Structure 1
Amino acid sequence: MTGDVSWPGRGPTWLGVPALVIAVVGGLTLGEVTHRQEFSRELLTSGGEVLAESVEVNVGRLVGPVTVEFRTADGQRIRTDLADNETNDAQGMPEGPQTPAAGTRYSMPLKVVYRRADPSVALASIDAQEWVDDRKTPQQGVWMLAGGLGVTVVALVLLSRDARRRGLAWWQWYTDGSRGAGAS
């Protein structure tokens, strides 16, 4: 194999593909954080807020899910897992269900916000407030999406410019392929 490989478009491709991946990750991040913020805002504004009567964390490789028990405003007793609360903070903790240690994030007294129409949908009040207050993550998602798409467009322009220099018509690959398929 020779050391001189001539592959037109290699530079723009190596630039555009990672940029497109960054744009996709940014879009997914933005979608997820927007969903979390809307969910948290809904629970904080129109949901019920109570103190949990009992809290239990299930420790394994991750800490979570956190199971809480509380009474709704109409006296209904609910036992449910809090929405999206797994963490990697299981250092030195024995595995299995246990009560959170005093002073930890989910220790008693734990304020819980829940959806009035479906009280099994609940979230720790501290998590809901942090998600609503988060301005950094959506901003990072926007920058990743915009930057990735911008670099991808630049790479596509460079690829098409190089293709035209080599004499490849803009849509030649498409029209030649469709004629060949239809002629069969």
Structure 2
Amino acid sequence: MTTNVDWPGRGPTWLGVPALVVALVGVLMLADVSYRQNLGHELLDGGGEAVASSVQVFSGRGGLGDVEVAFRTDGGREVKAVLAETGTDDEGMPEGLQAPAPGTRYAPPLTINYRRSDPTVAVASVDAQEWVADRRTPVISRWMIAGGLAVTLVALAGLTRGARRRGVAWWRWFSPAPGD
């Protein structure tokens, strides 16, 4: 058994696969930030605004969890909802469901925006404003997609060039058996 294995394509593979993963992460980031920005625009521009009468924060080992709020809609209907995607300012709190500490991100009086057709879709106004104002994350995710795909294409070109050099036709993924 030899210790030096000649494995053609090792370099481009080690370069291309992580680059493809970076591109896929960029796609997921872009999808997430687009959803958040669209929801933020929708709730800030056409949604209702209310002040939560009750705020309960679930804090666990991973930091801040769900934020449960109770509020009254413009029509006078009392609604209990879990806020969409929360921030992490209240870390360091003991575990469990409790009222947020005074002066923290979700401390009362908490202004929320909700969807008029479905008031259970609600978000803290401060979160919605941050999502709408975020210009950095979409740019980063687009660069991740473009860079990852570019490096993947370069690696793929290296793989096909090496395969052609070894005599494998570019349209085949296998080499014919001797005598064929």
TM-score (normalizing by structure 2): 0.92
* Residue equivalent to 2:34: 34
Once residues 117 and 175 of structure 1 are traced to their aligned partners in structure 2, the CA distance between those partners, rounded to angstroms, is 61
Once residues 12 and 173 of structure 2 are traced to their aligned partners in structure 1, the CA distance between those partners, rounded to angstroms, is 19
TM-score (normalizing by structure 1): 0.90
* Residue equivalent to 1:148: 148
Conserved 8 A contact 1:58-1:95? yes
1:128–1:49 Cα change, 3 Å? same
* Residue equivalent to 2:171: 171
What's the % identity of the aligned pairs? 59
* Residue equivalent to 2:103: 103
Structure 1 residue identity aligned to 2:112: V
Q: Secondary structure at the match of 2:66?
A: strand
Once residues 169 and 89 of structure 1 are traced to their aligned partners in structure 2, the CA distance between those partners, rounded to angstroms, is 60
Once residues 69 and 91 of structure 2 are traced to their aligned partners in structure 1, the CA distance between those partners, rounded to angstroms, is 19
Once residues 46 and 79 of structure 1 are traced to their aligned partners in structure 2, the CA distance between those partners, rounded to angstroms, is 20
Structure 1 residue identity aligned to 2:96: G
* Residue equivalent to 2:73: 72
**Structure 1 segments unaligned to the other structure (5+ residues):** 177-184
Q: CA shift at 1:135, angstroms?
A: 0.8
Count, aligned residues: 175
Conserved 8 A contact 1:65-1:86? no
Once residues 167 and 160 of structure 1 are traced to their aligned partners in structure 2, the CA distance between those partners, rounded to angstroms, is 11
* Residue equivalent to 1:11: 11
Once residues 168 and 175 of structure 1 are traced to their aligned partners in structure 2, the CA distance between those partners, rounded to angstroms, is 6
* Residue equivalent to 1:94: 94
**Structure 2 segments unaligned to the other structure (5+ residues):** none
